[in-house]
Amino acid sequence: MSGSARRLVVLAVVVALVAGCRRKPAREWRADDHDEEPSAPAPGPGAAPGAAAAAGGGNPDDLVDATWTSKCAECHGVSGQGNGPKAAMTKPPNLADPALLGSRTDEQLANTIRTGKGKMPAFGTLPPSVIAGLIRRIRTLGGE
Ligand code: HEC
């Protein structure tokens, strides 16, 4: 019994020492290093299209391009061929294929973008003007 009691005391001392050691460098770190932490919040990924529109003087094509790059290209690829970084998981179609686009009206494409389809998420919060711009952009991919 006395053996395990002593072990407990030793353990308590060790814990106290470790806790004491931790506290001291923490205080010194705060004084010296904390200033180096960047305090300006980086703009979130969702802010990109709005920021691009503001920076580009509100050119609607810039907003469409920024939206395509930030929200669509990860699956569809920059030129819509279905080769973005997430394409292996989601298997998007080749949007540059005239056979696919030729069989869809603008309204059908707009509905797919707004409500999603299969593994494609819904983008119902995009303004109608941006959705229309995305469709124009997609239709140029296949040389239409
Ligand atoms: C997470 C991956 C992913 C993202 C992000 C994504 N898509 Fe898709 N998209 C898909 C997949 C998968 C399909 C095929 C859906 C199906 O037919 O089941 C598809 C299909 C489409 C189609 C063809 C629809 C049809 O009529 O068959 C269009 C157009 C399209 N996407 C546009 C967009 C646009 C514009 C964006 C960005 C706002 C976007 N996608 C973002 C995965 C994605």
Nearest CA to ligand 1 atom 18: 118
CA of 42 to the centre of ligand 1 (A): 29
pLDDT digits (tens, 9 = 90+) for 120-139: 999 999 999 999 999 999 99
The first and second tokens of residue 46, run together, are 């969702």
Sign of CA dihedral 28, 30, 32, 33: positive
Q: What confidence category does residue 7 fall into, taking pLDDT thresholds of 50, 70 and 90? A: confident
CA of 92 to the centre of ligand 1 (A): 6
Is 97 in contact with 76 (CB distance < 8 Å)?
no
Burial of 81 (0-12, 13-18, 19+ CB in 10 A): middle
Pocket of ligand 1 (CB under 6 A): 71-72, 74-76, 86, 90-93, 95, 104, 108-109, 112-113, 117-121, 123, 134, 138
Alpha carbons 9 and 95: distance in angstroms, whole number: 70
pLDDT digits (tens, 9 = 90+) for 31-85: 555 555 555 555 555 444 544 444 556 788 899 999 999 999 999 999 999 999 9
Is 101 in contact with 144 (CB distance < 8 Å)?
yes
